[in-house]
Amino acid sequence: MIDYLIIGQGLAGSLLAWELIQRGCKVVIVDNGRENASQVAAGLINPITGMRFVKSADVDTFLPAAKQLYSQLADFFQQEFYIEKPMLRIFRSESELKNAGKRFNSPDYQAYLTDIQPPDKNIGILVTPFGFLEQKQTGYLLTRPLLSCLKAFFIAQNSYRQADFDYRDIQLQPSLRWQDIYPKHIIFCEGYKATQNPWFSWLPFQPVKGEILTLEHQTELPDKILNYGNWLIPLNDHRIRIGATFDRGNLNIQTTERGKNDLLHALSQISPDLSDATVINHQANIRPCTQDRQPFIGLHPQHKQLAIFNGFGAKGSLQIPWHGRHFTDALLNGAPLSQACNIQRYYEKP
């Protein structure tokens, strides 16, 4: 008997399936095998974001859970997936420098900030007219190798099916069924495609398209992640990834000249030397963002055998490990879900 049928092998479905399997559940995960947002994502984890340098909600809780899970997976698969690397936040205005200065002096932020530098302190070829901030506890997840290791693991467990899941193939009564599988629950983790899910499309998703470039260059760069409104990740001495655009209007996965040019233009502002870099890959996909910027987790209000684990927006790498563990606690032990992410907030007003 299968306990959980999970639809979608992105980061959400994969990490939830992993957690459930670790706790002794029988799981089957279904995916169509096409490139997804998780594979395209840069996997960045950045605790302090935005122009005001505010600590992400719950980062003090989410980050240890993420690091713990990625290190457990690294031990299991004998390869590193989470690369911790400091981040240089290059200010784009005097007010950014001022805001960052306030955070730098706050005890709440000590664990995440290393140094702040005033204008014109040079860092190699980078242009820093308003100064910069050095952050710690930042890094990125190698999502593609992680997902392919997990896929191989699920296949070896006889827990993976490649299929285009059609919602009409689900039988709810007398017992839940899909094809030859009679699961106790189905958990939907289809990323932005959840907007087409007949049981959960009422949730206010706000998908956002993003484009990313991989470049080769011959320039000396610091071995640090750069954040200048956009971000740059040094993959090795001559290869970088830069991203990402935010486009709410064109919800398709086509790469565009405009996306590419916007990313290259922003890059040339922090280092004209990088204008000579060669584009070797250009990717696009869609983030499963939500109207209130909180995940969508929980059981369907009428059909309790159907559940959703989705809506991780632009922060899947940071948020999914903690939520995966807590949703598993809720499913297996009836532990309460946090109010902020529970989909109950949309069908039961206090």
With respect to ligand FAD, which residue has the nearer C-beta, 166 or 223?
A: 166
Which of residues 100 and 289 has its CB atom nearest to ligand FAD in the complex? 289
Place of tokens 């040339």: 268
Helix, strand or coil, per DSSP, at residue 241: strand
Among all residues, whose Cβ is closest to ligand FAD?
10
Classify strands 27-31 and 160-162 as parallel, antiparallel or unpaired: parallel
Query: Angle at the Cα of 273 (from 268 to 278), degrees rounded to 5?
Result: 80
CA nearest to 299, candidates 309, 313, 290: 309
How far apart are the C-alpha atoms of 39 and 73, rounded to whole Å? Answer: 17
Least distance CB 169 / ligand FAD (angstroms): 10
Q: Which is nearer to ligand FAD, 42 or 150 (CB)?
A: 42
| 3-class secondary structure, 203 | coil
- Nearer of residues 131 and 288 to ligand FAD, judged by Cβ: 288
Nearer to ligand FAD, 117 or 294 (CB): 294
4 and 313 in contact (C-beta within 8 Å)? no
As measured in angstroms, the least distance from the Cβ of 243 to ligand FAD is 6
Extended beta strands in 111-173, E state: 113-117, 132-135, 139-141, 160-162, 170-171
- Indicate the residue among 290 and 342 with the shorter CB distance to ligand FAD: 290
CB of 344 to ligand FAD, least distance (A): 20
Shortest distance (Å) from residue 166 CB to ligand FAD = 7
Pairing of strands 306-310, 185-188: parallel
DSSP classification of residue 329: H
Interatomic CA distance for residues 238 and 252, integer angstroms: 30
Q: What is the closest distance, in whole angstroms, from the C-beta atom of residue 185 to ligand FAD in the complex?
A: 17
Residues 148, 172: Cα–Cα separation, whole Å: 32
Q: State whether residue 171 is helix, strand or coil.
A: strand
d(CA 302, CA 325): 24
Closer to ligand FAD by CB, 117 or 317: give it: 317
Which residues contact ligand FAD (rule: CB under 6 A)? 7-13, 30-32, 34, 36-38, 40-44, 164-165, 189-191, 193, 210, 212, 243-244, 285-288, 310, 312-318
Give the rounded distance of the alpha carbon of 223 from its chain centre.
22
In the complex, minimum distance from the CB of residue 245 to ligand FAD, in angstroms, rounded to a whole number: 7
* Cβ-proximal residues to 345 (8 Å cutoff; 6+ apart), any chain: 292, 339
Q: Which is nearer to ligand FAD, 103 or 193 (CB)?
A: 193
Residue owning tokens 């984890």: 45
